[in-house]
Structure 1
Amino acid sequence: MLRNALAACAALLLVMTGTAAPATAGPRPVVGAYYGNWYSGSKPISAIPSDTPITHLFYAFATIENGKCVVNAPTAAKDFADILDLKRRKPSLKALISIGGWGAGGFSDAALTRESRQAFVASCVDLFFTRHAGVFDGVDVDWEFPVYGGPTEITDRPQDRHNMTLLVREFRRQLARGTLVTAALPTGRLQTDGPYDPARSFDLGALGRDLDLVMLMTYDMGTGFSPVATFNAPLREVPEDPLPAADRRWNNVAGAVDYYLRHGVPAHKLVLGTPFYGRGFQVRAEGPDHGLYQPYDSTFWVNGYDDVQRLRATPGWSEHWHPVARTPWLYNAAERKFVSFENPRSIGIRAEYAERRGLRGAFMWELGNDDARHSLLNALSRPFR
Structure 2
Amino acid sequence: MEGRLAGGVAPLFSLFLLVAALLLLARLGSCACPCRDPALCQPISGARDFEVFVFDIGGSNWRFYNWTHITTVATFGKYDPELMCYAHSRGARVVLKGDVAVTKIVDPAFRAAWINQQVELAKRQYMDGINIDIEQEVAKSSPEYDALTALVKETTEAFHKAIPGSQVTFDVAWCPDCIDKRCYNYTGIAESCDFVFVMSYDEQSQVWSDCIARANAPYNQTIAGYEQYISMGIDPQKIVMGVPWYGYDYTCLSLSKDHICSIAKVPFRGAPCSDAAGRQIPYRIIMSWENSSLSGILWNDEYQAPYLEYKAPNGVFHQVWFDDPRSISLKAAYVTDRGLRGIGMWNGDCLDYSGGYVAEEQTEAMWEALTPE
Q: Taking structure 1 as the reference length, what is the TM-score of the superposition?
A: 0.71
Aligned residue runs from structure 1 range 254-293, under 5 A: 254-292=223-261
Alpha-carbon separation, structure 2, partners of 1:381 and 1:337: 29
| Superposition deviation, residue 217 in structure 1 | 0.5
2:170 alignment counterpart: 183
Alpha-carbon separation, structure 2, partners of 1:326 and 1:337: 20
Q: Which moved more, 1:119-128 or 1:306-315?
A: 306-315
- DSSP-derived class of the 2:113 partner: helix
Residue identity matched to 2:93: K
* Alignment CA distance shift 1:168-1:308 (3 Å): same
Residue identity matched to 1:220: D
1:222 aligns with 2:223: no
Aligned residue runs from structure 1 range 301-320, under 5 A: 301-320=279-298
Residue identity matched to 1:270: I
* Alignment CA distance shift 1:199-1:271 (3 Å): farther
Deviation per residue, 1:340-367 (Å, 9 max, x gap): 1011111111111111111111100000
2:217 alignment counterpart: 233
* Alignment CA distance shift 1:47-1:331 (3 Å): closer
Deviation per residue, 1:28-77 (Å, 9 max, x gap): 1111111112xx1xx4434446x43211111115xxxxxxxxxxx4xx2x
The alignment of Structure 1 onto Structure 2 pairs a total of residues equal to 302
Alpha-carbon separation, structure 2, partners of 1:376 and 1:33: 16
1:96 alignment counterpart: 95
Residue identity matched to 2:97: S
Deviation per residue, 1:282-310 (Å, 9 max, x gap): 12111353135x33367343431211111
1:365 alignment counterpart: 346
1:322 to 277, 281, 300: 300
Alpha-carbon separation, structure 1, partners of 2:258 and 2:335: 29
2:38 alignment counterpart: none
Alpha-carbon separation, structure 1, partners of 2:251 and 2:98: 33
Aligned residue runs from structure 1 range 10-159, under 5 A: 28-37=49-58, 40=59, 43-48=60-65, 51-60=67-76, 73=78, 76=79, 79-88=80-89, 90=90, 92-100=91-99, 106-129=100-123, 131-132=124-125, 134=126, 136-147=127-138, 158-159=142-143
Alpha-carbon separation, structure 2, partners of 1:280 and 1:199: 25
Alpha-carbon separation, structure 2, partners of 1:128 and 1:262: 35
Alpha-carbon separation, structure 1, partners of 2:206 and 2:285: 20
Residue identity matched to 1:45: W
Residue identity matched to 1:283: C
- DSSP-derived class of the 1:279 partner: strand
Residue identity matched to 1:363: G
Contact 1:31 1:54 in 2 (8 A): yes
Alpha-carbon separation, structure 2, partners of 1:335 and 1:302: 18
Alpha-carbon separation, structure 2, partners of 1:268 and 1:199: 26
Deviation per residue, 1:326-345 (Å, 9 max, x gap): 11111226532111101111
Bigger radius of gyration: 2
List gaps (5 residues or longer) in structure 2. 1-45, 266-275, 354-359
Alpha-carbon separation, structure 2, partners of 1:111 and 1:302: 31
* Alignment CA distance shift 1:147-1:225 (3 Å): same
Residue identity matched to 1:163: A
| Superposition deviation, residue 170 in structure 1 | 1.4
- DSSP-derived class of the 1:318 partner: coil
| Superposition deviation, residue 266 in structure 1 | 1.1
Contact 1:208 1:265 in 2 (8 A): yes
Alpha-carbon separation, structure 2, partners of 1:335 and 1:200: 35
Alpha-carbon separation, structure 2, partners of 1:268 and 1:357: 9
Contact 2:175 2:226 in 1 (8 A): no
| Superposition deviation, residue 216 in structure 1 | 0.4
Alpha-carbon separation, structure 2, partners of 1:48 and 1:221: 26
Alpha-carbon separation, structure 1, partners of 2:64 and 2:47: 31
Alpha-carbon separation, structure 1, partners of 2:287 and 2:146: 44
2:264 alignment counterpart: 296
Contact 2:104 2:110 in 1 (8 A): yes
Residue identity matched to 1:295: I
Deviation per residue, 1:64-113 (Å, 9 max, x gap): xxxxxxxxx4xx2xx1332223322x1x211111223xxxxx42144111
| Superposition deviation, residue 376 in structure 1 | 5.0
* Alignment CA distance shift 1:269-1:199 (3 Å): farther
Q: Taking structure 2 as the reference length, what is the TM-score of the superposition?
A: 0.73
List gaps (5 residues or longer) in structure 1. 1-24, 62-72, 101-105, 149-155, 190-194, 237-251
| Superposition deviation, residue 162 in structure 1 | 1.1
Contact 1:99 1:141 in 2 (8 A): yes
Residue identity matched to 2:142: P
Identical counterparts, % of pairs: 21
Residue identity matched to 1:312: E
Alpha-carbon separation, structure 2, partners of 1:178 and 1:125: 13
1:337 alignment counterpart: 318
